[in-house]
Amino acid sequence: MRAVPRPLLAGNWKMHFTVPEGLRHALRLREDLEPYAAVIDLVVLPPAVMLWEVANALRGSPVAVGAQNAGWADEGPFTGEISPRMLAGWCEYLLIGHSERRQLFRETDEELNRKLGAAFRHDLKVILAVGETLEEYEAGRTAEVITRQVNAALYGVDPAGASVLSVAYEPVWAIGTGKAATPDYANRTMGLIRELLGKHFGERAQEMRILYGGSVTPANARSLMSEPEIDGALVGGASLKAPDFTQIAQHTAEVALSRQR
């Protein structure tokens, strides 16, 4: 039986809040989430325009800050982009590969591989999102899609990256729909992800965190977090409501404590 790592709970704010609204939300979360920080790792992913302000507001607190996306170059003629080098030093986490980036902005597996390498160069803790669309799910292609996405993203990656990489399984058909994957289905798919990580990172894959994302709510968080392959959650809509995100943190912490007994 593998040693279960500290759960990671990440709140992806997507394109929500003005800067003043985001600051108020961050300060509320700073207070509400503190009781659970001894048991789980916590991170918020605000829009880029407020990253600096939110990072300052949360400085010295147990809630870390991450970016929702970054480019693959340190600098250059890339209008509108933000580089991992710019984020390093005050932004601890970086999310890449979210299905909205893949689907709406046509990001490719090759681009994500380059982004992963750039993030590792600057010691960012990466959350790599993977997941199948509804069409792929209904066609029974989940394993094929997940295998392609994971292997392509990790191609040529330094095995030392295992210490700062988490993978988030997000079935696209569950994101924002209110229809989460069943705990058993999510657990089985995340078991596949761990097998794939094992081919790249060996035994270290057992210690890596695999998160579930896709309509995580206070109502289903406990059942999802209780599954053996699930090491936390990437939360979208519920992270915009402080009471909901705090309740998810509470359920996650309670499951983590029960595993320690």
Distance CA 255, CA 235 (A): 17
Active site residues: 98, 170
Taking the domains of the chain in order of start, what are their residue ranges? 8-260
pLDDT digits (tens, 9 = 90+) for 185-194: 999 999 999 9
The CATH fold assigned to 8-260 is: TIM Barrel (3.20.20)
Would you say residue 143 has pLDDT above 90?
yes
Looking at residue 64, what is its pLDDT? 98
Burial call 153-188: b when 16+ CB within 10 Å, e when fewer: bbeebeeebbebbbbbbbbbbbbeeeebbebeebbe
Looking at residue 1, what is its pLDDT? 62
Q: Stretch 212-232: mean pLDDT, rounded?
A: 95
Distance CA 239, CA 145 (A): 27
**CB count in 10 Å sphere of residue 123:** 11
Sign of CA dihedral 147, 148, 149, 150: positive
- Residue 248 near residue 238, CB atoms below 8 Å: yes
Would you say residue 3 has pLDDT above 80?
no
Q: Stretch 218-242: mean pLDDT, rounded?
A: 97
pLDDT digits (tens, 9 = 90+) for 8-44: 999 999 999 999 999 999 999 999 999 999 999 999 9
pLDDT digits (tens, 9 = 90+) for 99-118: 999 999 999 999 999 999 99
Residue 261 — pLDDT band, cuts 50, 70, 90? confident
